[in-house]
Amino acid sequence: MTNPLLSVWDTPFKLAPFDKISDADFAPAFEEALAAHKAEIEAIAASAEAPSFANTIEAMEVAGEGLDKVLSVFFSVAGADSNPAREELQRDFSPKLAAHSAEISANKALFGRIKAIWDARDTLDLTEEQQRVLMLTHRGFVRGGAALEGDADARMKEIKSRLAVLGTEFTQNLLADEREWFMPLAEEDLEGLPEFAVDAARAAGEEKGAEGPVVTLSRSIIVPFLQFSPRRDLREKAFEAWAARGANGGETDNRAIAGEILALREERAKLLGYASFADYKLETEMAKTPDAVRGLLMDVWEPAKARAEADAAVLTEMMHADGINGDLAPWDWRYYAEKRRKAEHDLDEAALKPYLQLDRMIEACFACATKLFGLQFKALDVPLYHEDCRAWEVIRDGDHVAVFIGDYFARGGKRSGAWCSAMRGQAKFPEVRGPVVINVCNFAKGDPALLSYDDARTLFHEFGHALHQMLSNVTYESISGTSVARDFVELPSQLYEHWLEVPEVLAEYATHAETGEPMPQAMLEKVLGAANFDQGFATVEYVASALVDLAFHEGAAPSDPMAKQAEVLAELGMPAAITMRHATPHFAHVFAGDGYSSGYYSYMWSEVMDADAFEAFEEAGDAFDPETAKALEQHILSTGGSVEADELYKRFRGRLPGVEALLKGRGLAA
Ligand SMILES: [Zn+2]
């Protein structure tokens, strides 16, 4: 019998036949499909025909179809519905996949063909999209080091493997420091802590084998402690330990590792011909240059610092009124900010929840997409990997657009967080095919299931990513949907969150589970007002981290990263009662791997864009303005990575984004 993962999927919409797949099918299908992909790549590389776009680039696009099928099913269940067998399979597959892609990018014969096509590109009469795919393929190989020869090639390999080792050490040291430290609490030290924080401290105590409750350095435990504990001495002790992670001396100290990583990154960028690591890293981003990143961050920094300083004065007065003299310290900020929040914006989560029913919020998500883009959603009855999954066919003007799957509830075996993935990406080559897109969340089950306000935002956020996949309209899959620059990919998702806050949406869909009454106006205003509370603090701690990250990777690598960090903060005039969100010895975004190195700015970059993009609707005087929605789909949601992100944004907005809308949204505008 043929393996169901590799057979022809003769099912509605060619969905994977989940009811026929068992765990025992994965390993044999994976081995067979991996071998088939290797053979296809080898055949392309060894072809006797002269290299052409069709026999090389298009051939690479269609290669690995079996592997795509196996992995789309496997990674869906491994992330959302795992079990020991699937975990074991993942441990087996991951290194094999990493070796497979490393082998492809190091294939000199294959690169030779790609380079020949690239060099002849002006004579080939390629479409705009073909030129783009060719450029991205060639650039990807070059950036990976495929064009290097001899000593440079050997050195690049050394650098890569040393960086992988250092990244792992950095992470493990950080984990060790976080595991090691805890602070026992006496019963009277629990005073002032809310029930959830007390429960968490007791559970942590049990886990550590302590006599009673403890504070640990896990963010979910220490932050509430700093927020609620009136014991200034204990807050100070806990904060100092938290701030010292990775910088405690001895075997787990990360400071020297950070220095070595920065030096190797600089060398790597120079081998590839870039002036600095930041230039190398930002080349593929919307921002493109270190100057563009700095410009945006500094536009936000000054207003954020001014707000933080004004807030510090208020909090200092509150502290003095408590009989504590002197200056506000970093371990005081969260405590007094929480007191202030309670006085000014107290929001009763328990009273809010019945207004946010999951099913009504899904309806709201869909209704906004109907109004904006004319999409209709028809429930489907198809076999999926878990009984909680629901599916809809997405239709426009009677035509099939996509299949959308929602897997909303938390359960054992599901990774934490929320995400969107395409089980099949949109493409028109080699044939037209609609995408299959899934949103996975971790909401508490209930009857009816109720959401917190954060949950509802998450629902809209992930659905924004789904729209980016579903409305994609390009030829080649490698550039479809969310295959865009990292600092651009959160634009559709964060932008979609804005429609949750459109008053008419909440008024229609936020109805009480029992009474059916719409949310009271006063509650609505509190919900919307709470969003920009204490944003001076949040913006300052974030932007300071992003600017230090950028400074580390521009120009020559600093010989002493801690001195460089101090220098950057001094130049900025960092407020005394606020520290970096992630200081160097525990800045895992930047040092655990390459993902966010000289890229920590990108969260803020996306937020600037989503605020500015939503303002296009506000300027049109209608959150559902049809012309603006049409432009959004035409220039951003349908285009995938077929055009540079900054060009796409200009086509949509007529200009690049400015920070004004973000400052207004965060309550930082003058
Ligand atoms: Zn996202």
Segment 235-290, tens digit of pLDDT? 999 999 999 999 999 999 999 999 999 999 999 999 999 999 999 999 999 999 99
User: Do residues 201 and 231 lie in contact, with contact meaning Cβ atoms separated by under 8 Å?
Assistant: no
Q: What is the CA radius of gyration of the chain?
A: 26
Q: In which residue are the tokens 């942590």 written?
A: 204
- φ/ψ (deg, to 5) at 242: -65, -40
Whole-number Å distance, alpha carbon 111 to ligand 1 midpoint, is 33
Contacts of 110 (CB under 8 A, 6+ apart): 41, 44, 45, 56, 104
> pLDDT tens, 529-560?
777 789 999 999 999 999 999 999 998 999 99
Q: Tell me whether strands 399-409 and 436-443 are parallel, antiparallel or unpaired.
A: parallel
> Which segments within 156-255 are labelled E, that is strand?
182-184, 214-216
According to DSSP, the β-strands at 390-396 and 376-380 are antiparallel
User: Could you say which of 393, 462, 501, 633 is catalytic?
Assistant: 462
Expressed in angstroms and rounded, the spacing between residue 465 Cα and the centre of ligand 1 is 7
554 catalytic residue (yes or no): no
Ligand 1 center to residue 607 CA distance, Å?
Answer: 11
Compute the residue count for the chain: 670
- How far apart CA 637 and CA 629 sit, in angstroms, is 10
Q: What is the dihedral of CA 258, 566, 252, 223, to 10 degrees?
A: -120
Residue 350 pLDDT: 82
What's the pLDDT score for residue 657? 93
161-209: per-residue pLDDT in tens?
999 999 999 999 999 999 889 999 999 999 999 888 999 899 999 999 9
Residue 150 is inside which H or E element, if any? helix 150-180
Taking the centre of ligand 1 as the mean of its atom positions, its distance from the CA of residue 490, in whole angstroms, is: 5
316: CA distance to ligand 1 center in Å?
36
Please report the beta strands in 275-433, taking only residues with DSSP state E, as ranges in sequence order: 376-380, 390-396, 399-409, 419-424
CA 147, CA 253: separation in Å to the nearest integer? 36
Report pLDDT for 346: 79
Classify 374 in phi/psi space as left (phi over 0), alpha (psi -120 to 50) or beta.
left
In angstroms, what is the span from residue 420 Cα to ligand 1's centroid? 8
Centroid of ligand 1 to alpha carbon of 483 (angstroms): 13
**Residue 1: predicted pLDDT:** 64
pLDDT range class, residue 663, cuts 50, 70, 90: very high
- Tokens 């765990």 locate to 23
Which tokens hold the place of 531?
Answer: 């969003």
| For residues 358-385, average pLDDT | 98
Order across the sheet with 419-424: list the strands.
Answer: 376-380, 390-396, 399-409, 436-443, 419-424
Between the CA of 489 and the centroid of ligand 1 the distance, in Å, is 7
Average pLDDT, the chain: 95
Strands, E assignment, 474-591: none
What percent of the chain is modeled with pLDDT above 90? 88
Assess whether pLDDT exceeds 80 at residue 121. yes
Cα(603) to centroid(ligand 1), Å: 10
Ligand 1 centroid to Cα of residue 146, in Å, is 32
Question: How many Å lie between the centroid of ligand 1 and the Cα of residue 538?
Answer: 19
For residue 601 the two structure tokens come to: 């700015």
What pTM was computed for the model?
0.92
Distance CA 125, CA 131 (A): 9
13 has a pLDDT exceeding 70: yes
Nearest to 488 by CA among 656, 631, 344, 350: 656
* CA 438 / ligand 1 centre spacing (Å): 13
pLDDT score of 31 more than 80: yes
Residue 179 dihedral angles phi and psi, to the nearest 5° = -75, -40
How far is ligand 1, taken at its centre, from the CA of residue 461, in Å? 6
* Residue 47 φ then ψ, to 5°: -55, 140
pLDDT for position 47:
97
Q: Distance from the CA of 306 to the center of ligand 1, in angstroms?
A: 29
Q: How far is CA 78 from the centre of its chain?
A: 19
Distance 598 CA to ligand 1 centre (A): 19
Tell me how far the alpha carbon of residue 493 lies from the centroid of ligand 1, in angstroms. Answer: 6
Question: How much of the chain exceeds pLDDT 70, in percent?
Answer: 100
Which amino acid is residue 257, in one-letter code? I
Integer Cα distance of 125 and 469 in angstroms: 29
Confidence (pLDDT) at 142: 96
Answer whether 277's CB lies under 8 Å from 591's CB.
Answer: no
- Give CA 594 to chain center in angstroms: 14
- CA angle, 398 as apex, 393 and 404 as ends, to 5°? 15
CA angle (632 as vertex; 626, 635 as ends), nearest 5: 135
In this prediction, residue 396 has a pLDDT band, given cuts at 50, 70 and 90, of: very high
The answer to whether 226 touches 541, Cβ cutoff 8 Å, is no
Q: Which residue has the tokens 């088939």?
A: 36
Average pLDDT over residues 489-506: 94
Query: How far apart are the CA of 416 and the centre of ligand 1, in A?
Result: 14
183 CA → ligand 1 middle, Å: 35
Residue 397 and residue 653 in contact, taking contact as beta carbons nearer than 8 Å: no
Nearest to 218 by CA among 255, 167, 183, 170: 183
Q: How far is the CA of 106 from the centre of ligand 1 (A)?
A: 31
How many CB atoms within 10 Å of residue 341? 15
How many whole angstroms separate alpha carbon 406 and alpha carbon 160? Answer: 38
pLDDT in tens, 584-635: 999 999 999 888 999 999 989 999 999 999 999 999 999 999 999 999 999 9
Q: Quick check: 527 pLDDT over 90?
A: no
Q: Which two tokens stand for residue 554?
A: 């521009």
Residue labelled with tokens 């924080």? 197
- Would you state the pLDDT for residue 237? 98
DSSP element (H, E) containing 665: helix 660-665
